[in-house]
Amino acid sequence: MNDLRTPTFVFDVEQGSEEWRRLRMGKATASNFNRIVTEVKGEYASGVDKYAREVAIQRMIMEDTEQPKDGLRWIERGKVLEPDAVKHYEKVRGRTTKAIGLVISADGARACSPDRISADHLWGVEIKCPSGPEHLEYMDDAKKGGAGPGTAYRWQVLGSILVAGFDGWSFVSYHPNLREVIVTYKRENFEKELKLLDDCLNRFEETVQRYCNLIRREGFIDPRTQTPTRAEAEWAKLLEADPNLWAL
């Protein structure tokens, strides 16, 4: 696998901020690894080119191609409940964790945003705060000895282990009125999957590079040489003053 033993850990940037979005641009991010590797069979995804074009555009012209998620009901719920989930996890597992903004792989092509990382172990934490019925499904599956809630997020969690070079990760489903569900991912138990994911990510990066080269060949305009664009607030004021600003 690629040498990811010396990733960059960014602590002084808040997740969701403009700086955080800027640092993620042009990198394959763990939350999107399920677009590169299929969930069930663990194969290279057939529709991966679409994501590769997005990453290439981010990298070359700094256009944010990710759809904003703020405002969605369950996203907002998660933000509210996450501090409680962290305290509960620390109490249950007897660990101390700390917040982090971003982890960038040594080659600069991959990134992940852990919800928390352990203060004294090479360990990360992914926290979800789902609805009651969804959390109950996780509880039922765990009781039956199933794969648990981590199945849908498997490549995100394993990808985070790969990027950070950690020994493992905890996937936590938290609901304030129901018992927690925690799925543990130890690196030593997933070496085969990590190798598969690493190979797929290398293949994905080759595709991104192909699109970057296409941009260069067909007339790349470096945005750093252009006149700085107006801030969104400035455009909003102009539009308010002249509703026909964009009229043809």
User: pLDDT 10s digit of each residue in the chain, 248 long?
Assistant: 444 458 999 999 999 899 999 999 999 999 999 999 998 788 999 999 999 999 999 999 999 888 765 556 667 777 789 999 999 999 999 999 999 999 999 999 999 999 999 998 999 999 999 999 999 988 888 877 665 566 778 899 999 999 999 999 999 999 999 999 998 999 999 999 999 999 999 999 999 999 999 999 987 666 666 655 556 666 677 667 766 655 53
| Residue 207 included in any domain | yes
Q: What pTM, to 2 d.p., does this model score? A: 0.82
| Residue 3 included in any domain | no
| Residue 138 included in any domain | yes
CATH of the domain at 134: 3.90.320.10
| Residue 2 included in any domain | no
| Residue 227 included in any domain | yes
Q: What residues make up the domain containing 96? A: 8-241
Residue 124 three-state SS: strand
Extract the tokens encoding 106.
Answer: 């040594």
Extract the tokens encoding 87.
Answer: 């305290």
| Residue 220 included in any domain | yes
| Residue 187 included in any domain | yes
Cα–Cα nearest to 180, from 188, 169, 172: 172
Dihedral over Cα of 154, 97, 10, 165: its sign: negative
DSSP 30: G
Residues 6+ apart with CB under 8 A from 62: 22, 25, 26, 223
| Residue 77 included in any domain | yes
Q: What confidence score (pLDDT) does residue 76 get?
A: 76
Residue 220 CA, chain-centre distance (Å), reads 28
Report the domain count for the chain: 1
**Cα gap 44→10, rounded to integer Å:** 29
